[in-house]
């Protein structure tokens, strides 16, 4: 990345250790994680170092941060990470690219190794905390996959640990989400890693299935089935963003929009600062989409090609220049890409 020419304006680095956050660019100062007005959890008081462009300067900052990260010798590695590290690169667009290196999960053999070490109690405590946080993340991923298949939605326990609180936005797989997620699987070539490798690959298979199913479902999901977030996103992008200022007033489901009287919709638009002409145009465009969607679904059932425009809108294509951040962790399921505005 440092040689790719990507412009970086600032850098922040921190680690999550024992469910606490420490700033890796400020002498490991302990920081708090607070929930913002948008419902997302953020690290408060994180130091941000300015950088004019990507290159050796940024690389040096990351190297310095890594040197402060908690490590210890284990049965598997001479320098095993004892924390989850976040490296955040702020981009000119206002977004950020975030790499997250998670500590690897540990098994009974590792526990035995820790019990024989000089700081046995501390190592065993770290192992339990690492495995718990990874287990919490694994459960959140599992329930996210379950919910992605439709049906009764289950509560996802993101607040079980600081790690899952901070990774919550990266697991948003809804069609209109600004989040893009990519998982990298890290597997071990040795016999002792076989069970963990199989477990990793099983999860990867489930994720691939869920992702493909979500894509196919999005292609043929009619506007009348859109969520309030999808409707607002569609209005925001309509005609190149011409009606973006009205999108905040459009948080209603597609079903409600479809059955709403025109006069009631125009009143909603007027209250948001729009005109009667704006209301008529948006209303007609949406109902045209509903008609096209039904026509397209009928063609699909008959084996005909579905209109590409209908599919594009149903997929909820995002505006250009959305920033992307990437999350990566070491053991098991590895990485996720997140867009933050």
Q: Cα separation of 65 and 14, whole Å?
A: 8
47: pLDDT strictly greater than 80: yes
User: What is the reported pLDDT for 149?
Assistant: 73
Per the rule left: phi > 0, alpha: psi between -120 and 50, beta: everything else, 279 is alpha
- Do 186 and 330 form a contact (C-beta atoms < 8 A)? yes
- Do 75 and 112 form a contact (C-beta atoms < 8 A)? yes
- Contacts (Cβ under 8 Å, ≥6 apart) of 280: 262, 266
**Average of per-residue pLDDT across 239-243:** 90
**Average of per-residue pLDDT across 117-131:** 79
User: What is the reported pLDDT for 42?
Assistant: 92
For residue range 149-183, what is the model confidence (pLDDT) as tens digits? 777 889 999 999 999 999 998 887 666 666 666 67
User: What is the reported pLDDT for 80?
Assistant: 67
User: What is the reported pLDDT for 334?
Assistant: 38
pTM for this one?
0.60
Q: Sketch out the chain's domains with CATH numbers.
A: 10-218+321-338 (no CATH), 223-305 (1.10.150)
Q: Cα separation of 162 and 132, whole Å?
A: 11
**Average of per-residue pLDDT across 93-121:** 70
What's the CA angle centered on 120, arms 20 and 69, to 5 degrees? 35
Q: Which of 105-109, 113-117, 315-319 has the highest mean pLDDT?
A: 105-109
Check residues 108 and 314 and name the one with the higher pLDDT. Answer: 108
For residue range 248-307, what is the model confidence (pLDDT) as tens digits? 888 888 889 988 999 999 999 999 999 999 999 999 999 998 888 877 655 444 444 433
Tell me 83's DSSP state. Answer: S
User: What is the reported pLDDT for 212?
Assistant: 63
Q: Cα separation of 176 and 253, whole Å?
A: 13
CA distance readout (Å), 307 to 214, 258, 298? 19, 21, 11
């Amino acid at each position: 990345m440092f040689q790719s020419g990507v412009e970086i304006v600032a850098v922040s680095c921190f680690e999550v250790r024992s469910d606490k956050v420490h700033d890796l660019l400020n002498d490991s100062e302990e920081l708090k994680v607070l929930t913002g007005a948008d419902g997302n959890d953020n690290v408060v008081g994180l130091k941000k170092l300015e950088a004019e462009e990507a290159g050796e300067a940024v690389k040096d900052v990351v190297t310095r941060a890594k040197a402060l990260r908690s490590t210890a010798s284990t049965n598997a590695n001479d320098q095993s990470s004892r924390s989850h590290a976040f490296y955040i690169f702020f981009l000119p667009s206002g977004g950020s690219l975030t790499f997250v290196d998670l500590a690897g999960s540990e098994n009974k053999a590792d526990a035995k190794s820790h019990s024989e070490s000089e700081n046995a109690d501390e190592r065993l405590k770290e192992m339990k905390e690492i495995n718990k946080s990874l287990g919490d993340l694994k459960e959140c991923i599992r329930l996210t996959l379950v919910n992605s298949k439709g049906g009764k939605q289950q509560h996802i326990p993101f607040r079980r640990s600081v790690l899952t609180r901070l990774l919550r936005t990266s697991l948003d797989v809804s069609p209109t989400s600004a989040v893009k997620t990519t998982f990298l699987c890290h597997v071990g070539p040795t016999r002792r890693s076989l069970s963990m490798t199989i477990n990793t690959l099983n999860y990867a298979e489930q994720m691939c299935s869920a992702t493909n199913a979500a894509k196919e479902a999005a292609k043929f999901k009619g506007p009348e089935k859109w969520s309030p977030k999808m409707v607002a996103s569609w209005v925001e992008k309509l005609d190149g963003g011409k009606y973006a200022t009205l999108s905040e007033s459009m948080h209603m489901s597609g079903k409600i929009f479809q059955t709403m009287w025109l006069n009631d919709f125009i009143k909603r638009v007027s209250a948001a600062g729009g005109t009667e002409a704006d209301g008529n145009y948006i209303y007609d465009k949406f109902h045209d989409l509903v008609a096209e969607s039904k026509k397209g679904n009928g063609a699909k059932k008959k084996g005909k090609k579905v209109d590409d425009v209908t599919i594009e809108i149903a997929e909820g294509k995002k505006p250009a220049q959305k920033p992307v951040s990437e999350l990566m962790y070491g053991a098991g399921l590895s990485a996720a890409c997140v867009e933050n505005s």
